[in-house]
Amino acid sequence: MTSRALAVTFLALCGLGASACGGAASSSAADTAPQRAETRSVAARPASSSARVATAGTPSPAKPLSGKVIVIDPGHNGGNYRHPDVVNKKVNVLTQWKPCDTTGTSTNDGYSEAAFTWDVANRMVKLLRAKGATVKLTRDSNSGVGPCITQRAGIGNRAHANAAVSIHADGAPASGRGFHIIMPKKINGPVDPVVGSSKKLGLALREAYKSGTGMPYSTYLGKDALDFRSDLGGLNLSTVPKVFIETGNMRNPTDAAKLKDPAFRQRIAVSLAEGLQKYLG
């Protein structure tokens, strides 16, 4: 074969089989580049949708009071003293007739029970909602009047509360100090079915309050900080577990100094929230 014929044959072979002539390297690189780019693209993507779904589908831990309804009753109201015609009106609490509401007491320098209970109640609301509870208050400000003691009980009943607590501070003789829990008695009335559960609630609050605040048991009323009564409309008319707490004596200088302290009021709120959680399980 002549040299010219050999050259033509060589070129023809190269055209048919580029890999034999070095053209394959160029073609292979061109074909592989998109694959490498795709590989990089896949590697750069965020977590797969299935992983995201798995994460999103993981339930968050249940809050300890999820599904529970709690009613907080801040005693009295800041505007009560301006409307004696309203608060002095008598209402039927089943065992007797009593005033619709009262003005409450105050410390010797004028810090009112109504302002104190409103502050503590709102601190409790934040804590309890953070624990997952549905929380209702019996009044929406500290500048209004009432509601009557009968209406306060009705708010808890209509809410089908799992627990209700009425916040107070006492106006006892200055020589006495400490706190106590007021619990209902059976009166052949609507409260009778929840007297037992109300006592359990009261015991849980007593222990939590004592350990959380260091406030001593009352030195002037009740036994071991427990007082059972049948003359309070807020208890007599309740169909849900309910107690009152007298958090301290506003007329006692030692107690008053604590109750006026915002940091101590926060301790009160934390303690009562813990007691409610313990009762509600």
110: which residues sit within 8 A by CB, 6+ positions away?
A: none
The one-letter code for the residue type at 64 is P
Angle at 66 between CA 61 and CA 72, to 5 degrees: 140
Neighbours of 191 (CB within 10 A): 25
Instruction: Single out the catalytic residue among 38, 113, 207, 246.
Output: 246
What does the chain look like in DSSP terms, one character per residue?
--HHHHHHHHHHHHHH-GGGGTHHHHHHHHHHHHHHHHHHHHHHS-S-HHHHHHHHTSPPPPPTTTT-EEEEEE-S-TTGGG-HHHHTSEEE-SSSEEES-----B-TT--BHHHHHHHHHHHHHHHHHHTT-EEEES-S-SSS----HHHHHHHHHHTT-SEEEEEEEE---TT---BEEEEE---SSTTGGGHHHHHHHHHHHHHHHHHHH-PPBPSSSSBTTEEEES--HHHHT-SS-EEEEEEEETTSHHHHHHHT-HHHHHHHHHHHHHHHHHHH-
Active site residue 246: yes
Angle at 265 between CA 260 and CA 269, to 5 degrees: 160
Looking up tokens 């693209």 gives: 41
- Which residues form the catalytic set? 246
